[in-house]
Chains A and B, each alone.
Chain A
């Protein structure tokens, strides 16, 4: 079937999950028309970008079992690559590709270096080391003020086609006035879809199978003649490059990049890690779902909590816990519960419901 070809034979394996994926795809494909408005478009773009980002992290975490805290660094490199190129070169598609290309090269070199460092270290040391590396990247980004704009970051303009002022049609289409933002959104949506399907292909290729074999039993895989170091380094590099692309998309959407937009620990922990684990590690569909859930929560959990806080007004402490600013508290609780009770995340859960029938 053609669906099998598109999904590289990796079907959702759960009717509920399949339906959700279909709904998400359609909602995102027609987002500018279904949910008009700048905020909704921003949310939809963010979802697309974080699907790629979380899925790319899943290739590292879920398919190799190693916790890296340096993934946001690659995201940041992609965003900075585009931002720096568009700030310094004549604005145009050439600048975007030069920025992205440069970022990909830097990311690849760093990812390979990290792979070889991990050769010398126990997994635990490696996790701590990546934490230090991530903070080093943050320092570099804030210190090299002339290039990166320091704490303030960089604001830049986009090529004509993506600029807000661009109007391809005089009249509204389906009641929505098409402008550069919507063009940008479709660029992001198309790129995200392509990148996600590419990742699906990679993890279902023979290479991906070896990664899974290594995750299940490192010694056995080694005994079968597969180089664990080589495969892990390669997986880390692929994940890094995908994250770099996601970063570039982010820069296009925001027309801005700074340390807190793409490099910070909040991005790493509160977004990437949370999405991957909540959705389900090692499934790729998990991070996709996780990204949707978490981004929606980031934007829409707060109003709901405000209502709850009002409702519990007068009860000690509770209003504080339901304070809209405390949305992260509840995501943290959810995260802990999922690691305890559903180590396979939402997707693993859904598949668990369906599997007996098959």
Chain B
């Protein structure tokens, strides 16, 4: 029972930023750092739901990537349906296109998540082996359904006009869209933090993460709460997918599952079930990807796996492990 704050894990991120600064010149570093944080925010959106779902019910789903893809496809559809607004260079117009894309993605992925919970997840509580198997099966089906609806060919999508291009900050060129992603990611993290820390619902979730039986014994219907958390988690993945799809400019059925390897790395590094851990780990992954992409391009994706292995050897339960009683 340690009351003192565990410092070393908290120093990883600042040290990484510092190391980056030493390895390259300032403007490059700033550009890459913003890009890394932006990528980290989108990854955090995809990972946050998964970590909450695991923390609360000890449920793992390998099908989360399908919701990311779904969010991305829905966003491309919405953007394509608002051509005038998307092409008008005004900020309000562009932001409202993005907002509409995200809103529709939330609704669609949330509904799909609800169906997925009822049809797939609900029957496999308590057995990790069956959860892994059945969600892999669910992923296959979901991916095929995506292809049946949107086709196997990549679908291009352009950023709304005002969000294209970059601004100069301290001599570094910073893409506007990345700043938007950072803002949105921070807002979601802040919102999640406030809900968890300040509301009765958040209290229930935090208590449920520790000891579900006791929360039920106090009269709260945790299973109903969990359905809500699962839906919210899928909707968050949808938001991440929408942002990522528009950012990439090209949406394929595999856009979500491809990201899941990074998402799992984030969950493992951050500590499964920890929202704060996922937030920090997502930024770490984003930064490492961008730094190594510049310094050692061949190592770009591999670098995150190496980072994860290193962290696991140091802390087998991740940087910010969850306490279960």
- Chain A residues within an 8 Å CB radius of B120: 336
A8 on the interface (CB 8 Å rule)? no
B134 on the interface (CB 8 Å rule)? yes
B81 on the interface (CB 8 Å rule)? no
A269 on the interface (CB 8 Å rule)? yes
A2 on the interface (CB 8 Å rule)? no
Given the known interface contacts A320-B148, A321-B148, A328-B144, the answer about A343 and B130 at a Cβ–Cβ threshold of 8 Å is yes
CB distance from A81 to the nearest CB of B (A): 21
Q: Which segment of B104-112, B228-236, B301-309 sits at the interface?
A: B301-309
User: Residue A127 contacts which of B130, B132, B298 (CB distance < 8 angstroms)?
Assistant: B132
Evaluate contact between B261 and A123: CB separation under 8 angstroms. no
Evaluate contact between A333 and B141: CB separation under 8 angstroms. yes
B319 on the interface (CB 8 Å rule)? no
Given the known interface contacts A67-B129, A143-B298, the answer about A336 and B148 at a Cβ–Cβ threshold of 8 Å is no
Chain A residue at smallest Cβ distance from B120 = A336
Evaluate contact between B144 and A329: CB separation under 8 angstroms. yes
Q: Which segment of A17-25, A44-52, A95-103, A130-138 sits at the interface?
A: A130-138
Mask: chain A, 13-38; 1 = CB below 8 Å from B; 0 = not: 00000000000000000000000000
Evaluate contact between B316 and A124: CB separation under 8 angstroms. no
User: Residue B137 contacts which of A135, A317, A332, A343 (CB distance < 8 angstroms)?
Assistant: A332
Evaluate contact between A270 and B137: CB separation under 8 angstroms. no
- Chain B residues within an 8 Å CB radius of A136: 302, 305
Given the known interface contacts A124-B128, A132-B264, A325-B152, the answer about A335 and B302 at a Cβ–Cβ threshold of 8 Å is no
Chain A residue at smallest Cβ distance from B298 = A143
Q: Chain A interface secondary structure, helix, strand, loop or mixed?
A: helix
- Chain B residues within an 8 Å CB radius of A127: 132
- Chain A residues within an 8 Å CB radius of B268: 125, 128-129
- Chain B residues within an 8 Å CB radius of A274: 140
Interface residues of A in 328-344 (CB under 8 A from B): 328-329, 331-333, 335-336, 339-340, 343
Evaluate contact between B128 and A123: CB separation under 8 angstroms. yes
- Chain B residues within an 8 Å CB radius of A125: 268, 272, 312
A220 on the interface (CB 8 Å rule)? no
- Chain B residues within an 8 Å CB radius of A265: 257
Given the known interface contacts A65-B129, A123-B128, the answer about A336 and B261 at a Cβ–Cβ threshold of 8 Å is no
Chain B residue at smallest Cβ distance from A343 = B130
Given the known interface contacts A67-B129, A326-B148, A329-B144, the answer about A132 and B265 at a Cβ–Cβ threshold of 8 Å is yes
CB distance from A354 to the nearest CB of B (A): 25
Interface residues of B in 98-141 (CB under 8 A from A): 120, 123-124, 128-130, 132-134, 136-141
Evaluate contact between B140 and A135: CB separation under 8 angstroms. no
Evaluate contact between A329 and B145: CB separation under 8 angstroms. yes
User: Residue B134 contacts which of A321, A329, A331, A340 (CB distance < 8 angstroms)?
Assistant: A340
A148 on the interface (CB 8 Å rule)? no
Q: Chain B interface secondary structure, helix, strand, loop or mixed?
A: helix
A184 on the interface (CB 8 Å rule)? no
Chain B residue at smallest Cβ distance from A335 = B137
Inter-chain contact total with CB atoms closer than 8 Å:
93
Rounded to whole angstroms, the CA-CA distance of A132 and B263 in the bound complex is: 10
B35 on the interface (CB 8 Å rule)? no
- Chain A residues within an 8 Å CB radius of B147: 325-326
Interface residues of A in 304-358 (CB under 8 A from B): 317, 320-321, 323, 325-326, 328-329, 331-333, 335-336, 339-340, 343
B205 on the interface (CB 8 Å rule)? no
A120 on the interface (CB 8 Å rule)? yes
Rounded to whole angstroms, the CA-CA distance of A123 and B138 in the bound complex is: 21
CB distance from B33 to the nearest CB of A (A): 24
Rounded to whole angstroms, the CA-CA distance of A128 and B312 in the bound complex is: 12
Rounded to whole angstroms, the CA-CA distance of A326 and B129 in the bound complex is: 27
Chain A residue at smallest Cβ distance from B260 = A131
User: Residue B305 contacts which of A133, A336, A343 (CB distance < 8 angstroms)?
Assistant: A133
Evaluate contact between B144 and A326: CB separation under 8 angstroms. yes
CB distance from A299 to the nearest CB of B (A): 18
Mask: chain A, 258-291; 1 = CB below 8 Å from B; 0 = not: 0000000100011001100100000000000000
Evaluate contact between A131 and B261: CB separation under 8 angstroms. yes
Chain B residue at smallest Cβ distance from A121 = B316
Rounded to whole angstroms, the CA-CA distance of A120 and B312 in the bound complex is: 9
Mask: chain B, 274-318; 1 = CB below 8 Å from A; 0 = not: 000000000000000000000000100110010010001100100
User: Residue A336 contacts which of B128, B141, B145 (CB distance < 8 angstroms)?
Assistant: B141
CB distance from A328 to the nearest CB of B (A): 5
CB distance from A160 to the nearest CB of B (A): 39
Given the known interface contacts A125-B268, A336-B120, the answer about A270 and B140 at a Cβ–Cβ threshold of 8 Å is yes
Q: Tell me which of B130, B138, B141, B152 has the highest count of chain A C-beta atoms within 10 A of its own C-beta.
A: B141
A6 on the interface (CB 8 Å rule)? no
Evaluate contact between A132 and B261: CB separation under 8 angstroms. yes
Point out residues on B near A: beta carbons under 8 Å: 60, 120, 123-124, 128-130, 132-134, 136-141, 144-145, 147-149, 152, 257, 260-261, 264-265, 267-268, 272, 298, 301-302, 305, 308, 312-313, 316
14 A-B residue pairs with Cβ-Cβ distance under 8 Å, sorted by A, are A120-B316, A124-B60, A124-B128, A128-B265, A129-B312, A132-B305, A135-B305, A136-B305, A317-B148, A326-B144, A332-B141, A333-B141, A335-B136, A336-B137
Known: A269-B136, A274-B140. 7 other contacts (CB 8 A): A120-B312, A120-B313, A121-B316, A328-B144, A329-B144, A332-B137, A339-B130
